[in-house]
Amino acid sequence: MKLATFQYQQRTLVGVALNDTHLLPLDALPVCASMQSLIAAGSAGLAAIREYLAAAAEPRQMIPVEAVTWLPPVTSPGKICGVAMNNSASNARKISAPEHPAFFLKPASSLVAHQQPVLIREYYGSVHPEPELACVIGRTAREIAPERALDYVFGYTIFDDITGNGMRAQDRFHYYALYPKADNPAELERVEQHLSYAARYKGSDTFSAMGPWLVTADDIADPDNLDVSCKVGGELVAEDSTRYYNFKVAEVLSFISHFLTLHPGDVIAMGTAFKPSATRKSIHHANLQVVPGPIEIEISGLGRQVSPVSVQKGGLGRWQLKRSD
């Protein structure tokens, strides 16, 4: 089942996409007052929708998708987690890496919906798309085992983890971290490290494109075997599959749940599908400062997300940053 959040005639509605051209609003069902309330209702909420769809005694109002303004399927998730370098295509570039999923957080304020513009400011430097599968959590999960982890997923959606490499370079620290010595914890040793905090280069406004809808978990037989492609300005820059993840979806959810309690509506982006296309073009060639949009991401079973790109001129006032492309 494809479930969407959208605005129509100044109302925010939850609806089901019965095809690619029309949405059926579900405002007649109290459980569908919002996507969050539907997720909280769990299987009972989905059963209510199926019963509503089956009882088609009278005509239902179908809304053309051209008449709506799309919103992210979940408009205010408690948290958005992203998984870093979770694709085997990146392994050859790693100098060292942890043997577990490494994850980061993105703010809900970075969300933007299908067909809504990704805003790129001139002072960001280089910015590129990162096409990803994302899970929407269906019930509270804490310290769950991998073999049970998928039971906690409400649905799946397309996620674009927009990344500002220019800002990553600007925010990089090269320094000596202090750690207690292994053989003498009373003494400290200096360890040379490189560090870059993700808040700007991962969490700027519109850096999390999500949608157009979420597909309920019962319609996705194997989230670890979905084809992913990405075009920018009509040119194919990624042809990949979730089967190339270093850590499977269930493993990621299990690991994160041992540190962060996952709540209904939380979004977990599983890592970038960035295996280059047959032309050897990759997402890293698609600097959105200079390559015109739109960004088009397709994931088998989930549909197609389209994001126009808007580059805005202007500076940072007194903050004169060194340009890093």
- 84 occurs within a structural domain: yes
In a domain, residue 131? The reply is yes
Whether residues 18 and 115 fall in one domain: no
Tell me which of 70, 86, 119 is where a domain ends: 70
Residues 28, 31, 35, CA angle at the centre, nearest 5°?
Answer: 105
String of DSSP letters for 170-231: HTEEEEEEEEE-SS-TTSEEEEEEEEE--HHHHHSTT-EEEEEEEEEGGG-S-TTS-EEEEE
The whole-angstrom separation of Cα 200 and Cα 284 is 18
Q: Is residue 24 located within the same domain as residue 94? A: no
Q: Are 112 and 206 in contact (CB under 8 A)?
A: yes
Q: Is there a single domain that holds both residue 229 and residue 261? A: yes
Q: Could you tell me which residues come within 8 angstroms of residue 307 by beta carbon, excluding any fewer than 6 positions away?
A: 112, 114, 115, 116, 117, 118, 129, 160, 209, 293, 294, 295, 296
Q: What is the pLDDT along the chain (325 residues), one digit of tens a residue?
A: 999 999 999 999 999 998 889 999 999 999 999 999 999 999 999 999 999 998 865 557 899 999 999 999 999 999 999 999 898 877 878 888 889 999 999 999 999 999 999 999 999 999 999 999 999 999 999 999 999 999 999 999 999 999 999 999 989 999 999 999 999 999 999 999 888 889 999 999 999 999 999 999 999 999 999 999 999 999 999 999 999 999 999 999 999 999 999 999 999 999 998 776 667 678 888 999 999 899 999 999 999 999 999 999 887 877 766 655 5
Same domain flag for 115 and 206: yes
As a whole number of angstroms, the distance between CA 157 and CA 133 comes to 6
Model pTM score:
0.94
Sign of the torsion angle spanned by Cα atoms 108, 110, 114, 117: positive
- Total domains present in the chain: 2
325 part of a folded domain = no
CATH number of the domain encompassing residue 250? 3.90.850.10
123 - beta bridge partners?
Answer: none
Nearest to 234 by CA among 143, 295, 149: 295
In this structure, the answer to whether residues 118 and 214 fall within a common structural domain is: yes
118 neighbors 264 (Cβ within 8 angstroms): no
Residues 39 and 66 in one domain: yes
Same domain, yes or no: 59 and 125: no
Query: Which of 27, 50, 70 marks a domain boundary?
Result: 70
Q: Is 80 domain-assigned?
A: yes
Q: Which residues contact 302 (CB under 8 A, 6 or more apart)?
A: 133, 156, 157, 158, 215, 220, 226
Domain that holds residue 124: 74-177+195-312
Terminal-to-terminal C-alpha distance of the chain = 42
Q: Among the three residues 43, 70, 97, which one is the final residue of a domain in this structure? A: 70
Cβ contact 268:253 at 8 Å = yes
Say if residue 149 is in the same domain as residue 92. Answer: yes
249 and 160 fall within a common domain = yes
Whether a cis peptide bond, with omega within 30° of 0, leads into 294 is yes
